[in-house]
Structure 1
């Protein structure tokens, strides 16, 4: 029995789009590149051929990974959630108690986490520290860069 992978509908859609792009565009292109490189002769010293074969392996591995992830996806729509406690899918507004810096994060599945988009994995130290907490609580989290203390300002589900 495989473990379920929590995912938002947007995360599922992004993975499906990536899978389609890999299967319909990138894989056929790399197969053409291999064919062209093969036509150049001696494969033992053909850098184009070896690079294309390596890229093909990476694409095939990524396709397999995405298919496995989607097959285990447990899609959770944050817009259908509510409550005063933080759970998967929540957007959480925090203030760093030491610096007064405010930040908003959405707690998402591991495959859709993207710190540049303020989406953190449900399995990250910060998200684990926030799950089950409420507005007004302070949360002390040990992060890779050292301990941080946040106060929870707002919880929304969109």
Structure 2
């Protein structure tokens, strides 16, 4: 997943192929489709009050932003294997932590780029305060990270397993 500095994005082959397919679709068939929508809306007349035209232009803008995002991400991607099941927190792992030594107050999350957010488990970026605090820690180790209000909190890594889709 993304690392600051060199801006390298580590991806599994499956994730790379999925993102490449999305980019190919958006920069090919989807572009043609949105251009047709814009042209059809333009033919309806007055563009100032043409909601269809404005909606299509907004959709085009969002799509082009996604194309740029995917292009940049794939240009910096390094394809590799999913992380090994070593009990060491790394991108691509589902991590369970306990807050301030209270083993009942836990959070389980996927440590990954937001590109891989899933509805099955919450996703935290490796660059987030929590993500950067726990990365490299072993099961049983504690980590400290800074909260948005500037105070610090401690967590204990209870589990770190490779994500299984």
User: Smaller-chain TM-score range?
Assistant: 0.7 to 0.9
Task: Report the equivalent of 2:156.
Answer: 151
Q: Deviation of residue 64 (structure 1)? A: 2.2
- Please list the CA deviations of residues 22-61 of structure 1 after superposition, one character each: whole Å capped at 9, or x if unmatched: 2455333321211111111233443322332232122122
CA contact (8 A) 1:6 1:109 kept: no
Q: What TM-score, normalized by structure 2, do the two folds share?
A: 0.74
CA contact (8 A) 2:114 2:123 kept: no
Q: Deviation of residue 129 (structure 1)? A: 0.6
Query: How big is the alpha-carbon RMSD for the aligned residues of Structure 1 and Structure 2?
Result: 2.9
Please say if 1:19 is aligned against 2:23.
Answer: yes
Please say if 1:58 is aligned against 2:62.
Answer: yes
1:90 to 69, 87, 93: 93
CA contact (8 A) 1:114 1:120 kept: no
CA contact (8 A) 1:138 1:149 kept: yes
Separation in 1, partners of 2:143, 2:120: 22
Please say if 1:70 is aligned against 2:82.
Answer: no
Q: What TM-score, normalized by structure 1, do the two folds share?
A: 0.77
Aligned to 1:139, the other structure's residue is in SS state strand
Paired residue total: 156
Structure 2, gaps ≥5 residues long: 1-5
Where is the helix percentage greater, Structure 1 or Structure 2? 1
